[in-house]
Structure 1
Amino acid sequence: MIFSFTATPEFDFMTYFARYIGATVHHNLLVIPGHIGDGYIRKILFDPEFKITLHHYVLKEDLVIKRNASGLGNELITIFFYSNEQTLGIAFDNNPNIQFSERDDSAIQVTSNDLNSTIRFPAGHTIRYAVIAIMPTYLKTLLALNNLHSTIETITGSGNTFLYFENMTAEAKLLLKNLSAVDMNDSLSQFYMQIKVQELLYLLFQKLSKRESLPHQNINSADAARLLHIRNEIISNLGVPPALPELAQIAAMSETKLKQLFKQAFGDTIYNYFQRARMEEAAFLLKQGKRSVAQVGYELGFTNLSHFSRLFEKHYGLTPKRYSSRP
């Protein structure tokens, strides 16, 4: 099942998706028809310039959502929160699907509406995600900051094309779960939802504001596709440190451009991103309990296990041995 749309500010996903699957929207709620799957899509409008759409369903076939650039510049900010047991497939510029996460079951994507993107959801698995659509000027007023961090200034400014990724904190995941459980028949539910959605935005922009303040470079769909491909290359073999010249060749970019755009999109250098992914993989393998600390260290390319232990403790505050023995 492939649903394609153009991301103009006036576009309403739920209305057009309902037509696509032959369903009806009642009171901003779309119940997924039984022949397609089970679950719902709910839209909550706080203001004409600020809304959230909640998705919670299991489908009988894969769903591919293709967003086409509006060509209008940054007139709408889309913030995509995904939390699920399945890995999320994100691609740009009609490139082959690339998984966003191998081990982490969550992702946050912040993008202007002038980038093409493709998101793939697997059949037979519970899909749980939320999309906040907000106008730049409204967001700027909502944040009410006197001195804007460069990343936030880019997002709330005009004429900027951007793509940012963040991992989701446990607090944000819990918030998303609670949003899906709210009884919308309660008279104060709209008020409650707006508070919680703003809290979700706070958690995101708190993280974004901690990034290194850098001059912004506009990004196009082809660049975005290359960055995700490079990210996939980095995490495909966590036992081998990334070689910048090889990555730049794969991306068809200069080394300087690749370093700048990668850090801008993912908030860290290529090597630091690799090391963090390496430690996350180590934590995942240790928690499985099927490998010893030494086996995990060697599998991830460490010849010096003391170095592995020091690096792991730096990331998690515990040695690998203590971490693996925690309940």
Structure 2
Amino acid sequence: MIFSFNATQDFDFMTYFARHIGATVENDMMVIPLQLGDGFIRKLSFGPEFKVTLHHYLLKEDLIIKRNASGQGNELITIFFYSNEQPLGITYGTGSHIQFSERDESAIQVTSNDLDSTIRFPAGYMIHYMVIAISPAYLKNLIALQEHNTTIENITGSGNSFLFLEKMTAEIRLLQKNLGAVEIKNGLSYFYMHIKVQELLYLLFERLSKRESIPYQNINSADAARLLHIRNEVLSDLSTPPVLYELAGIAAMSETKLKQLFKQAFGDTIYNYFQQARMEEAAFLLKQGKRSVAEVGYELGFTNLSHFSRLFERHYGLKPKKYGSAR
């Protein structure tokens, strides 16, 4: 099943999707028809410039959602929170299909609505995700920034095109889960949800605000596709450090542009991003308890186990052996 839409500011996803699949909307909720699966979509509207949709369903066939650029410039910020371990496929522009899940650094995506994207939701898996759609001006007033911050100013500024990716922290994951479980029975429930959605935005932008201030570049759908492809290349083999000039060749960008756009989107340098992923994979393998510290170190490309141990301790505050035994 394919659902395609244009990302204009006044677009109401749930209403048009319900029409597309022959479902009805009642009290800002749409129940998935039994012939298609099980679950629901809920809409929360806090005004024409601040809306939230909560998705919770299991489908009998793959769902492909295609978002087409509005063609009107950046008039809306879309914030996508994906909290499933089941990997999800996403494509920007005409780029290649990239997998991501709540375990990685792109489970939260903040984009301007002038980027084309395609997301494939696999059949047979319970899907949980949330989308916040908010205008730059509304978000700017909501945050009420008192001091200069490049990242937040670029997101809330007028006419900027961007893609920022963040990790799903335990605190954000728990808050999102609780939001999905609230029953909207009266005005106070709605008031509660309004507060909690703002808390979710605070947790996200508090993380984004800590990013290093760097010169900003507008990004288009093709650039977004290349960046996700490069991220995939970096993560495809955690035993081999990335080589910048090789990645620049793959991305068809200069090394300078690639470094700047990657850090802008992911909040870190390519090498630091690789090392962080490497340490997270080491932590994951050690917690499984099926490999020794040496086996994990060698599997991740460390020939010097003392260096591996020091690096791991720097990230997690414990030596690998102690971390593994603490599971």
Q: When the two structures are superposed, what TM-score results if normalisation uses the length of structure 2?
A: 0.98
Q: Which residue of 1 aligns with 2:40?
A: 40
Aligned residue identity for 2:120 = R
Aligned alpha-carbon RMSD (Å): 1.2
Please state how far the C-alpha of 1:29 moved relative to its aligned partner: 0.2
5+ unaligned residues in a row in structure 1: which ranges? Answer: none
Matched, 1:76 2:86: no
Alignment check: 8 A CA contact 1:103 1:284 kept = no
- Counterpart-to-counterpart distance in 1, 2:10 and 2:186: 28
**Is the CA contact (8 Å cut-off) linking 2:105 and 2:166 kept in structure 1?**
no
Aligned to 1:16: 16
Instruction: Please give the residue correspondences for 1:155-234 in structure 2 after superposition, counting only pairs within 5 Å.
Output: 155-234=155-234
* Amino acid of the structure 2 residue aligned with 1:218: N
Which AA in structure 1 matches 2:64? Answer: V
State the secondary structure of the residue aligned to 1:40. strand
SS in 1 for 2:245: helix
| Offset at residue 148 of structure 1 (A) | 3.5
1:286 is aligned to: 286
Show the counterpart of 1:267.
267
Contact 2:77 2:110 in 1 (8 A): yes
Q: Which consecutive residues of structure 2, in runs of 5 or more, have no partner in the other structure?
A: none
Contact 2:103 2:168 in 1 (8 A): no
Which residue identity does 2:117 align to in structure 1? S
Is residue 36–residue 59 contact of structure 1 (8 Å, CA) maintained in 2? yes
Contact 1:63 1:121 (C-alpha < 8 Å) held by counterparts = yes
Deviation, structure 1 residue 31: 0.3
- Distance in 1 between residues matched to 2:268 and 2:289, nearest whole Å: 30
Amino acid of the structure 2 residue aligned with 1:263:
K
Deviates more, 1:248-257 or 1:313-322: 313-322
Give the deviation of 1:101 after TM superposition. Answer: 4.2
- Equivalent pair of 2:234/2:274 in contact (CA under 8 Å): yes
Residue in structure 2 matched with residue 237 of structure 1 by the alignment? 237
Structure 1 residue identity aligned to 2:15 = T
Contact 1:52/1:131, CA 8 A, preserved across alignment = yes
Q: How many residue pairs are counted as aligned between the two chains?
A: 327
Deviation at 1:27, TM superposition (A): 1.1
State the 1:324 CA deviation.
0.9
Partner SS state of residue 78, structure 1:
strand
Residue 256, structure 1, aligned to residue 256, structure 2: yes
User: Is contact 2:69–2:114 with CA below 8 Å preserved after alignment?
Assistant: yes
1:118 deviation in Å? 1.0
Partner residue, 1:320:
320
CA deviation map 1:22-78 (0-9, x unaligned): 111111100001111100000001111111100001111111111110111110000
**Match status 1:56 vs 2:56:** yes
Q: Provide the C-alpha distance between the structure 2 equivalents of 1:139 and 1:102, rounded to a whole number of angstroms.
A: 25
User: Is the CA contact 1:91–1:98 (under 8 Å) kept in the aligned structure 2?
Assistant: yes
CA deviations over 1:86-115 (Å, ceiling 9, x no partner): 012221013231112494497110000000
1:70 corresponds to which letter in structure 2?
S
Structure 2 CA distance for partners of 1:36 and 1:170, relative to 1, 3 Å: same
Does the 8 Å contact 1:94/1:118 carry over to 2?
no
Counterpart secondary structure, 1:47:
coil
Contact kept, 8 Å, 2:102 with 2:168, in 1: the verdict is: no
Alpha-carbon distance change, 225 to 212 in structure 1, aligned in 2, over 3 angstroms: same
Percentage identity across aligned positions?
A: 76
Contact (CA 8 Å) 1:85, 1:105: kept in 2 or not?
A: no
The one-letter code matched in structure 1 to 2:215 is P
2:87–2:101: 8 Å Cα contact kept in structure 1?
yes
Aligned partner of 2:2 in structure 1 is: 2
Contact 1:87 1:103 in 2 (8 A): no
Structure 1 residues 87-106: aligned runs within 5 Å: 87-101=87-101, 103-104=103-104
Q: Give the 3 Å change call, closer, same or farther, for CA 102–174 of structure 1 in structure 2.
A: closer
Instruction: Indicate if the aligned counterparts of 1:52 and 1:132 stay in contact, CA closer than 8 A.
Output: yes
